[in-house]
Amino acid sequence: MTLSIQFFTIISMIAGGLYLGAAIDTFRRFEFYWKKRIIFSYIIEICFWLLQTLILFYLLYLVNQGELRFYILLALLCGYAAYKSVFEKTYRNILEKLISTSISIYYFFYRLVQAIIVRPVILLFNFLVAVFIWIWGIVLTLLWLIIRVLWYPVKLVSKLIWFLTPNVVKKYFIYLAGFYNKIKNTIRKWWNEFRS
């Protein structure tokens, strides 16, 4: 391994230590979202550290084909220590501002979508439902009116037929109506007893 490769390796690992510190702070900032779910928390923790290991090893592979040396670990620790002592507070402030800005942008677009798309669609739907109910009411009213108009002559004709019917036939129909009512009442009584 040449001196230039060793130099680039040390610089890369110091940068990797800085990145690792920032990644840990970012991970810990969002940890409270899943901390109460113990199994999920363990899975996320393991995945996080595996991902960081892969990223750092890939960085090392790009610089010196993945050769590990003791000074590489020291450079990584130096980068992490430099982050903790110099950059941690600044990075956390930047992270909080980025989070608050992202939340503001999200709420802006949420309100925009609500105002431009969701509310007009809901208003249109409510309007169409109201129009449909109104038209349905008119149709039912017209149907009821047509039925009443058509039923009126039938009612007059049936009254006329009943008036012209001989009394013997009327008595027979009255008897049939009474017999039908008795059957209906008996069936209803049996049904009520069956249900209870």
Whether the model clears a pTM of 0.75, i.e. scores above it, the answer is: no
Contact 48, 103 (CB under 8 A): no
Extents of the domains making up the chain: 3-95, 166-196
pLDDT digits (tens, 9 = 90+) for 8-62: 778 888 888 888 899 998 888 888 777 778 888 888 889 988 998 888 888 888 8
* Alpha-carbon dihedral angle through residues 137, 142, 144, 150, given to the nearest 10 degrees: -170
pLDDT for res 66: 66
Q: What are phi and psi of 67, to 5 degrees?
A: -80, 125
pLDDT digits (tens, 9 = 90+) for 118-158: 999 999 999 999 999 999 999 999 999 998 888 888 878 87
